[in-house]
């Protein structure tokens, strides 16, 4: 089954219409400020959703108080509501508080002449400990091969190709749909083992432009499923350069995130346990690490800014990690792995 998240529909157009005009105006100015910083459309949409939740709570449980007048006891009650009434995870609570903290920073720094005594108090109320509330899916080589075989056997070649690319590149969901057919040619293979995109593609980032990076894909892990999908595309008469496509009104168009989400549900059913695309990014990092690729190289391949991210994404159990370095003779000599071996 797919990994589940508790969603609570507490905002409606009718409720949001009842939010005070002064709060609506303040929120509108805040989002104008975010747009002036070139924040991405997705970032602003996420913040709007989070802000709507606070404003509806404020309407229903806090007398529609003007945001500038909200105090620490109000924030404590809001956090309590998120945890116990909505049953949000600690991570979700932190995100919701981050949104109103960001608007508080905006008021304090940009509207100080109008509200000279205003201070950001949001983080005066400690957030709950950031502990996981859902079991993380750790993909094994056996899981991946079983899933890939099942997709190929049922001729779902595009799904197999998407999965293979996610596993062989560690690309995020939003990045997968940006890959082009033309990226995967012989001249784009470096060191005989890695496809390197001939151009930088947009990855995760706060601005509309995102962070532009080259992406790397392990040839051996990806090529068989790419070839099968190319044969199927030819049969279907798909000629566009987008690697992954959907059909809309008789036309082939770039695949959407919604389609990938439906794929994740299909994969979960085949595996009989939760699948989500971000687990492929963990697998990619773990696979490289267990093959002996240095953390610094993994960091560069993944486009991370710090080595800390590498350790976060490695799923290797401590006993398995120790087994690489110790045996009955004591400490083993570990040989570095070439990318050609992967």
Residue pLDDT, tens place only, 43-90? 888 899 999 999 999 999 999 999 999 999 999 999 999 999 988 888
Q: How far apart are alpha carbons 338 and 266 in whole angstroms?
A: 34
Is residue 268 over pLDDT 80? yes
pLDDT at 161: 98
Work out the pLDDT band at 342, boundaries 50, 70, 90.
low
Residue 156: enclosing H or E segment and its boundaries? none
Q: Which CATH architecture has domain 13-124?
A: Orthogonal Bundle (1.10)
DSSP per residue over 260-294, as a string? Answer: HHHHHHHHHHHHTS---THHHHHHHHHHHHHTT--
Residue 84: CB partners within 8 Å, gap ≥ 6?
none
Taking 60 as the threshold, does the pLDDT of residue 192 lie above it? yes
**CA 229/CA 247 separation, integer angstroms:** 15
What average pLDDT does the structure give for the chain? 88
Cα-Cα end-to-end distance for the chain: 30
Query: Which fold is adopted by the domain 141-274?
Result: hpI Integrase; Chain A (1.10.443)
Token match 């219409």: residue? 17
Does 333 have pLDDT greater than 70?
Answer: no
For 214-240, the pLDDT digits (tens) are: 999 999 999 999 999 999 999 999 999
141-274 has the same fold as 13-124: no
The C-alpha R_g of the chain, in whole angstroms, comes to 24
Least confident residue range of 34-43, 171-180, 329-338: 329-338
Task: Measure the CA–CA gap between 11 and 319, rounded to whole angstroms.
Answer: 47
Q: What does each C-alpha distance from 31 to 28, 49, 204 come to in angstroms?
A: 5, 12, 20
| Domain spans of the chain, in order of start | 13-124, 141-274
Q: Which two tokens stand for residue 111?
A: 């509207």
Confidence of residue 135 (pLDDT cuts 50, 70, 90): low
Q: Are strands 201-203 and 211-213 parallel, antiparallel or unpaired?
A: antiparallel
Given a cut of 60, whether residue 209 has pLDDT beyond it is no
**Banded model confidence at residue 314, pLDDT cuts 50, 70, 90:** confident
Number of neighbouring beta carbons within 10 Å of residue 234? 10
pTM as predicted: 0.66
For the ranges 124-128, 209-213, 300-304, 309-313, which has the lowest average pLDDT? 209-213
Query: Is the pLDDT assigned to residue 320 strictly greater than 90?
Result: no
Other C-beta atoms closer than 10 Å to the C-beta of 170 total 27
Residue linked to tokens 């601005």 = 207
Average pLDDT on 280-288 reads 92
**Burial bucket for residue 73 (CB in 10 Å: 0-12, 13-18, 19+):** exposed
């Amino acid at each position: 089954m797919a990994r589940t998240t508790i969603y609570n529909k507490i905002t409606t157009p009718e409720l949001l219409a009842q939010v005070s005009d002064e709060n609506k105006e303040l929120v509108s100015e805040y989002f104008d400020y975010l747009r002036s910083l070139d924040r991405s459309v997705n970032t602003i949409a996420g913040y709007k959703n989070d802000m709507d939740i606070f404003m509806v709570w404020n309407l229903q449980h806090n007398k529609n108080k003007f945001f500038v007048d909200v105090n620490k006891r109000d924030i404590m009650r809001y956090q309590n509501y998120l945890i116990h009434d909505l049953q949000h995870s600690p991570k979700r609570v932190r995100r919701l508080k981050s949104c109103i903290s960001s608007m508080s920073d905006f008021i304090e720094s940009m509207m100080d002449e109008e509200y000279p005594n205003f201070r950001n108090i949001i983080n005066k109320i400690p957030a709950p400990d950031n502990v996981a509330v859902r079991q993380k899916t750790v993909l094994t080589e056996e899981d991946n091969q079983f899933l890939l075989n099942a997709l190929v056997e049922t001729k779902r070649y595009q799904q197999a190709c998407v999965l293979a690319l996610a596993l062989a590149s560690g690309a995020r969901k939003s990045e997968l749909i940006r890959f082009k057919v033309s990226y995967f040619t012989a001249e784009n293979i470096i060191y005989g083992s890695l496809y390197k995109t001939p151009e930088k593609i947009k990855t995760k980032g706060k601005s509309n432009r995102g962070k532009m990076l080259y992406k790397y894909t392990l040839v051996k892990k990806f090529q068989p499923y790419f070839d099968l999908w190319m044969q199927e595309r030819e049969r279907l008469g798909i000629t566009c350069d987008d690697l992954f496509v959907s059909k809309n009104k008789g036309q082939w168009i770039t695949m959407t995130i919604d389609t990938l989400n439906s794929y994740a549900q299909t994969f979960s059913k085949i595996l009989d346990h939760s699948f989500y695309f971000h687990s492929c990014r963990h697998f990619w990092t773990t696979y490289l690490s267990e093959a002996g690729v240095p953390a610094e190289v993994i960091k560069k391949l993944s486009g991370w800014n710090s080595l800390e991210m590498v350790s976060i994404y490695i799923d290797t159990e401590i006993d398995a990690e120790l087994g690489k370095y110790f045996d009955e003779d004591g400490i083993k000599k570990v040989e570095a792995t070439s990318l050609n071996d992967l």
